[in-house]
């Protein structure tokens, strides 16, 4: 019973899977929703909606929340939740735009944003993994504290960014082949997140911890360390998102990232990540983000107020989850 030589029986069996192109009903149905939205946008505002500059705008707006959602997807897949993402983005963005930080230029702002994100994630992770706190409570506490600290730093004022190299990233001159750098960052984070979740031991452990923490522990996985890393990862994504937001807004404000936690959770859930853990999809999450951003864009172009947007968002969440329940339900009941 030595197991050193793998059977080479079905090398091609998993070709499609190897490419990661498995037809996932959830992603297909979300792609359908997105197609419908594009059609609606194209029909109601043909000139504005399909303009290159508008598509660039939609993708840019999706980038900030998108990066946060990638981190959130990992946390939810592991059976956790991170309610503090919006507050961390706020804190990181204001800390990165203080006069003292701006003295260090581009690198200072980037480093501070990422470091603050990681720091907050570390606290979340230690509280959850080693302090035995329920993620909901630990990250709720972080939400409150980080928002408070952000307000204390800014005293409610908007901190204008005066570092040219940071601001330059947001202008059309910096676009690479018409793609804004922020969108490239988002794409890179998405790709890295997908690979991390689907191709590495880290991703596999994340899914195992979310699917059955006790079985994962008895299989020899260090569940606590894994949880710590996951909140660190979410914090890292918040730090990156905060930097993108600083570039986009040209400033740092303590009200940044308001309700990002809800947008990120909603995007991940309609994408097909199980709130109870054990199953997660980065592609679905990104599609979820794109759906929400596109709705917002179409409503803005049609001069509809944000109250209508909110109602539509709620309806989409309900509809998407109901459709998933119908399509995903298989014969194990």
- The binding site for other proteins (CB under 8 A) comprises 1, 3, 5-11, 14, 17-18, 199-202, 204-205, 207-208, 211-212, 214-222, 278-279, 330-333
Smallest gap from Cβ 130 to other proteins, in A, equals 15
Smallest gap from Cβ 131 to other proteins, in A, equals 18
Report the distance separating Cα 22 and Cα 311, nearest Å: 33
200 vs 310, beta carbon nearer other proteins: 200
Q: Which of 99, 129, 93, 128 is nearest to 114 (CA)?
A: 93
CB contact at 8 A, 258 and 237: no
Q: Looking up tokens 């059609």, which residue turns up?
A: 39
Smallest gap from Cβ 207 to other proteins, in A, equals 7
Smallest gap from Cβ 120 to other proteins, in A, equals 24
Smallest gap from Cβ 226 to other proteins, in A, equals 11
Phi, psi of 181 (to 5 degrees): -55, -35
Q: Which of 103, 98, 117 is nearest to 238 (CA)?
A: 117
Neighbours of 149 (CB within 10 A): 18
172 vs 220, beta carbon nearer other proteins: 220
188 vs 219, beta carbon nearer other proteins: 219
110 vs 216, beta carbon nearer other proteins: 216
Q: Which of 118, 73, 138 is nearest to 279 (CA)?
A: 73
Smallest gap from Cβ 87 to other proteins, in A, equals 30
Identify the H or E element spanning 241.
Answer: helix 223-249
254 vs 281, beta carbon nearer other proteins: 281
3 vs 47, beta carbon nearer other proteins: 3
Q: Looking up tokens 């979820």, which residue turns up?
A: 288
Token reading at 230: 């996951």
Q: Looking up tokens 């539509």, which residue turns up?
A: 312
């Amino acid at each position: 019973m030595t197991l050193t030589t793998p059977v080479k029986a079905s090398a091609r069996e998993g070709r499609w899977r190897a490419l990661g192109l498995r037809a996932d009903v959830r992603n297909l149905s979300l792609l359908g929703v997105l197609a419908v939205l594009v059609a609606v946008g194209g029909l109601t505002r043909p000139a504005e909606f399909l303009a290159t500059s508008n598509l660039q705008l939609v993708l840019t707006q999706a980038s900030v929340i998108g990066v946060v959602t990638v981190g959130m997807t990992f946390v939810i897949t592991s059976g956790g939740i991170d309610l503090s993402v919006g507050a961390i983005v706020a804190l990181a963005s204001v800390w990165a735009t203080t006069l003292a930080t701006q003295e260090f230029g581009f690198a200072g702002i980037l480093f501070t944003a990422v470091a603050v994100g990681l720091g907050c994630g570390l606290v979340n992770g230690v509280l959850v993994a080693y302090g035995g706190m329920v993620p909901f409570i630990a990250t709720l506490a972080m939400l409150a504290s980080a928002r408070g600290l952000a307000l204390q730093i800014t005293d409610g004022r908007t901190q204008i960014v005066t570092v040219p190299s940071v601001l330059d990233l947001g202008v059309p001159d910096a676009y690479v082949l018409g793609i804004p750098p922020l969108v490239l960052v988002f794409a890179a984070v998405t790709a890295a997140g997908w690979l991390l979740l689907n191709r590495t031991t880290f991703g596999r452990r994340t899914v195992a911890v979310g699917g059955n923490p006790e079985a994962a522990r008895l299989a020899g996985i260090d569940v606590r360390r894994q949880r710590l890393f996951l909140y660190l990862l979410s914090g890292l994504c918040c730090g990156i998102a905060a930097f993108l937001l600083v570039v986009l807004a040209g400033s740092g404000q303590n009200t940044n990232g308001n309700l990002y936690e809800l947008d990120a959770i909603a995007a991940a859930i309609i994408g097909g990540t199980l709130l109870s853990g054990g199953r997660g999809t980065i592609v679905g999450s990104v599609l979820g983000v794109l759906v929400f951003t596109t709705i917002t864009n179409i409503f803005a172009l049609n001069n509809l107020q944000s109250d209508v947007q909110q109602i539509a968002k709620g309806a989409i969440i309900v509809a998407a989850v109901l459709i998933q329940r119908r399509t995903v339900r298989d014969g194990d009941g």
